[in-house]
Amino acid sequence: MSAPGYPVLLDLHGRRTLVVGGGPVAARRATGLLEAGATVDVVAPWLCEELAELVAEHRVSWQARDYAAGDIDGSWFVHTATGDPATDDAVAAAAEAAGTWCVRADDARRSAAWTPAVARGADGVVVAVSGGRDPGRARAIRDAVAAGLDTATLPVRRHRPVHRAAVGTVHLVGGGPGHDDLLTVRGRRLLATADVVVVDRLAPRGVLEHLAEDVEVVDCGKAPGHHQLTQDQINDVLVDRARRGLTVVRLKGGDPFVLGRGGEEALACRAAGVPVSVVPGVTSVVSVPAAAGIPVTHRGVSTSFALVSAHDGIDPVVRAAHEHASTTTLVLLMGIRLLRDSAAALVSAGRPSTTPVAVIERGWTPGQRTTVGTLADIAELAERRRVSSPAVVVVGDVVALRDRIGAQHPELP
């Protein structure tokens, strides 16, 4: 490249393209063309395994022979990667004569077009990088840009108004147990392109600071004894905003489908004809005990665990005690209000009163604190320490491992 190139993106969807060569480089070029929606023809006397798989899957067509004059006829774009300079010369010359762009894999200086290192983000963002004849530099810059796109540290939200679809999309995003950096990469990427964010009390609030000023934030604010929005109202907000053609992120604590009522929200969207996707999150069921140094399973101690919601009474706790072996770890969510009744019920159901119990408050936040006792005294200890929600209760011998493993997150005394 003797002078700066002219960057351009090609729409190859449904258009015929030609790849000459059957090796790994040709396979990469063919795969990239397929991802762009192109129709791909391959001319080569032999194929590497990856290209052979594409042929077997009928994703590309193959002419099992050497390149011949006329092969580029009707092609919009050509890649030549035979490894034979004479053949690549012939392909490039034919493409030049036909006015067809041709990329040579063997010698960029003799190409009429070049393939950059590409980073792709959400909502159609494509960043192409030329390294100035240095492919390693191009890849390094591409990887840095890709990391910024994935983690939403780059400003990828649209600034220019676009024609909105008649109906937008709702994304149910699990925010994890509370710490901002436990939100998934996909969750961050979707937040960066959202028009509306509907957020729970236990979702990672720090990520909201990075939203653009014109993003609407709807705070559900569910707290014990105080609901700013009912579940039906939340469903209505999701459907209403999506019907305006907006991209909606429903940011929830933990995982949307683990006692998060995400299923109800997904059904409400489907019933209203609104597209909905689910992005899993790190659930507090296992992550909050982990923050306190407690694995919910451990070889030789417990090979299973059961999740129990104690929100609506102790009956689910009693059933879990009867249905699972005494070695099964029980993890109680929303169990602080009925902690005394639950502990007594577990003892009545056959669990030894000496069974270790841990209550972890506000896991993965600066206010994390763990109270450890047994079924016999945990309720009294919790009252004495004024334990409050949100908290996760772990019942089982795995609690004893905490002293050996140690808390994974700083705790209050």
Would you name the residues annotated as active-site residues?
200, 222
Report the 10 Å Cβ neighbour count for 137. 14
Q: Are 218 and 197 in contact (CB under 8 A)?
A: yes
Where helices occur in 197-283 by DSSP H, the ranges are 231-243, 262-271
Maximum CA extent, the chain: 88
The number of residues in the chain equals 413
How wide is the angle at C-alpha 75 spanned by C-alphas 71 and 79, nearest 5°? 80
Residue-wise burial string across 380-407, b where 16 or more C-beta atoms lie within 10 A, e elsewhere: ebbeeeebeebbbbbbbbbbebbeeeeb
Q: Are strands 247-252 and 196-199 parallel, antiparallel or unpaired?
A: parallel
Distance CA 138, CA 111 (A): 18
Distance CA 249, CA 281 (A): 13
Distance CA 342, CA 91 (A): 77
Give the relative orientation of helices 231-243 and 262-271 as an angle to the nearest 10 degrees: 40
Distance CA 395, CA 306 (A): 10
Tell me how far CA of residue 172 lies from CA of 99, 175, 183, 291, 309, in angstroms. Answer: 48, 9, 13, 25, 21
